[in-house]
Structure 1
């Protein structure tokens, strides 16, 4: 399952989505956006896939929107899904970014749409849209101040400057730093660790973390119960308890 612009490979319980426009530094055009959206539509329904990795071909994660395409009316947006087919509606399953080279503008916003970020020591992040007369409208200036301190988010967004992965690791935005060229290896390792857990528990856990940011204190536990109670009554919950008691690896069914 792949299109030229987006390659998809399923490796065990992890699916790797690769933006495949290395000559354009993996800039996102309409084909890339549609390819990512189509891939996730299929993968979200597959019971054998529990987690994803998003990366770019040729040593670059993504340099943002394809400005040449933008000038010709090729907008890299999918209705209901947003820029890159993902920023307005990230997948339900956990998504890990594997960042090499540049994660700039829309590329940074794709990374911010992921749940975990693994980055090469030589990778660089930034929101340079103001330097091009544009605004980081694919979630960057909304998500960034929720992830790092306000004044640092303002600096990154207003200057348009590039920032090394090490700085974003210090701020807690990047989860792990790898040697150059090994971000995908590190991301796969982390994604496999995630995917080894019970599928229903993963979906519920991610949903609570994402949605609870907007919950009022008085309703938090009621809303959480609505999401997690079905997990406690699932066959996988019984399997997890039995596997622990009997000292064997659990066999998840996703039910």
Structure 2
């Protein structure tokens, strides 16, 4: 694919995707979403890639959806509704990330607002530079979160805090986001990518099938009763008994050497 809005680079054992629209504060248009989806699809089928780092160029991580593409023409309201549900790449991006099989780490410097914060929330972990700012300002514009924010945010920080942030539309600092457990780590300004790379390196050193199945068990289990979640975990755990990586991991442990996992 000819990447115009993003920079896609394989670094060691992971993929880094940079949203590269600094003049638009890295807002996402259809082209941007299509490029991210393409990069993610290719990475998902590449055994040499164990994680994804998502970041932004310039002063922002991402400030949401590019409003210039959001046109509602007279008499076409329900046509747009169908596009939103079935064909718009921007909407598909938010849904797709919730089922992605490899860890996604968002490295945030600067602003993560509206859909930009929602994009980070449908990933797995957030690392923020000290100067990062977070917020969902939609209510100030007569709108509401549309990229899953009313669902992902309360699941992460609880209903009361989620309602406060959404209903007031206020921005919070990286330190406050850490206090709310919205982010995993806060670094010095400009060091978020470095910390995300450290996490990716640690993840990629482990068995990729184990990472994939534990990710699925955690994500799906959050919406299950405890007994159902434990049953799902047990089934997933049993599958690993038949993997080459289990044999390699146990052999490496006995032989006191680093394992060479293959993802099989």
Shorter-normalised TM-score: what interval? over 0.9
Say which SS state the counterpart of residue 251 (structure 1) adopts: coil
Query: CA separation in 1, counterparts of 2:131 and 2:119?
Result: 18
Query: CA separation in 1, counterparts of 2:176 and 2:33?
Result: 29
Quickly say closer, same or farther: Cα 1:96–1:77, change in 2 above 3 A. Answer: farther
Asked whether the equivalents of residues 217 and 229 of structure 2 are also in contact (C-alpha less than 8 Å), the reply is no
Asked whether the equivalents of residues 30 and 89 of structure 2 are also in contact (C-alpha less than 8 Å), the reply is no
Quickly say closer, same or farther: Cα 1:72–1:7, change in 2 above 3 A. Answer: farther
Query: CA separation in 2, counterparts of 1:154 and 1:56?
Result: 27
Aligned partner (choices 185, 208, 216) of residue 199 of structure 1:
208
Q: Write the mapping of 1:20-99 to structure 2, written as runs, cut at 5 A.
A: 20-71=20-71, 79=86, 83=90, 85-90=92-97, 91-99=100-108
Q: Tell me by how many angstroms 1:111 deviates.
A: 0.7
Query: CA separation in 2, counterparts of 1:182 and 1:117?
Result: 13
* Count of residue pairs brought into register by the alignment: 255
Query: CA separation in 2, counterparts of 1:242 and 1:215?
Result: 35
Query: CA separation in 2, counterparts of 1:78 and 1:8?
Result: 27
Q: Tell me by how many angstroms 1:85 deviates.
A: 4.7
Query: CA separation in 2, counterparts of 1:220 and 1:199?
Result: 21
Q: Write the mapping of 1:165-180 to structure 2, written as runs, cut at 5 A.
A: 165-180=174-189
User: What is the match of residue 162 of structure 2?
Assistant: 153
Asked whether the equivalents of residues 25 and 62 of structure 1 are also in contact (C-alpha less than 8 Å), the reply is yes
Aligned partner (choices 205, 213, 217) of residue 222 of structure 2:
213
Asked whether the equivalents of residues 137 and 170 of structure 2 are also in contact (C-alpha less than 8 Å), the reply is yes
Q: 1:190-211 CA deviation, whole Å, 9 max, x = no partner?
A: 1111111101000001000000
Identify, as 1 or 2, the structure richer in helix: 2
1:11 partnered with 2:11: yes
Q: CA RMSD for the aligned pairs?
A: 2.1
Query: CA separation in 2, counterparts of 1:35 and 1:85?
Result: 12
Q: Which structure 2 segments of 5+ residues have no match?
A: 74-79
Q: Which structure 1 segments of 5+ residues have no match?
A: none
